[in-house]
Amino acid sequence: MGRRRYVQLLSALLYNANLAGFVRGTIYTGSLKGLCVPGLNCHSCPGAIAACPLGSFQTALGDIRTKLPLYIVGVLVLFGVLLGRAICAFLCPFGLAQDLLHKIPSPKLRKSTVTRWLSLCKYIVLFIFVVYLPLHFLRVNGVSTPAFCKYLCPMGTLQAGIPLVLANESLRAIVGALFQWRLVWLGIILLTSIFLFRPFCRFLCPLGAIYSLFNKYALFGIKVNAHRCTGCRACVNSCKLDVHQINDRECIRCGDCLPLCPHKAIVYKRKDTKNEE
């Protein structure tokens, strides 16, 4: 198992360190819940010790008429400037789930022009479900509903909905059509992940859409040594994602292309530039 997989597992365990919550079927409400983790990790998960940045952002938008969401916007900008979409590769538990499912032997659907166009859908999801609906609709008693979390987030169902319903008989008695829809939606995404590499990350994740805006300029990650690169595109052709070049909006900066470059032109940014020439 590679180093990236260890980092993925460790981050998922750290995000959800309240293991007793899974047994009791309760949600952690301690002081750490005011902090945000970088990846998509449901704050309502019984194990979650901190908040999801996407859920926090939607909640903050609901209060924008009385206060500006400076904290969560600052957190998202900080994560983006530091790591960009490397967060998707290393620090997102749902990315890990999709990676593992894709390892199941099966026919695999390759990237194409169609998948490249579909990758734009996550920006539509970001605008409609994360920004527009919480701001202008779905307000109950003056409180905005986080539309993405409520209707489309598969991690909320996997991490929070299913464990809480299994652990609480009272919840099992009141689940309805919305929970059934979310189970079906989760099943579709998980099943698709077997045949298509990271479909949620590529086509639907609004958090990845936000981080992609910083991808080209993020401080840590990978870069191409222009002196060594010959434009052979071995990196792009070998990548399962819909990238056109290293560090474009679809690159998750995972580093899997490093050993595949015949000219050793792709390096981690942390390396001394003298060693790259």
Per-residue model confidence as pLDDT tens digits over 104-114? 999 999 999 99
- Distance between CA atoms of residues 96 and 100, nearest Å: 6
In single-letter form, the type of residue at position 99 comes to: D
- pLDDT at 123 (0 to 100): 98
* Separation in Å, CA 140 to CA 30, 43, 62, 135, 275: 26, 20, 11, 12, 58
Q: What is the pLDDT of residue 269?
A: 78
The encoded tokens of residue 274 equal: 């003298």
What is the mean pLDDT of the segment spanning 38-48?
Answer: 96
Proportion of the chain above pLDDT 70, given as a percent: 94
Higher pLDDT, 136 or 180: 180
What mean pLDDT is predicted for residues 61-65? 76
Q: 58-72, 151-165, 210-224: which has the minimum mean pLDDT?
A: 58-72
pLDDT for res 76: 96
What pLDDT, on a 0 to 100 scale, did the predictor assign at position 232?
Answer: 94
Out of 116-125, 167-176, 225-234, the most confident range is 116-125
Mean pLDDT score of the chain: 91
The half-sphere exposure of 190 on its side-chain side, counting CA atoms within 13 A, is 13
d(CA 201, CA 184): 18
Average pLDDT over residues 65-83: 89
Nearest to 256 by CA among 80, 12, 2, 38: 2
User: What tens digit of pLDDT does each residue of 235-247 get?
Assistant: 999 999 999 999 9
Quick: pLDDT tens for 133-145: 888 775 656 667 8
Distance CA 253, CA 221 (A): 6
**pLDDT the model gives residue 62:** 75
Query: Which region, left, alpha or beta, applies to residue 114 given φ > 0 means left and ψ of -120 to 50 means alpha?
Result: alpha
Mean pLDDT of 112-120: 96
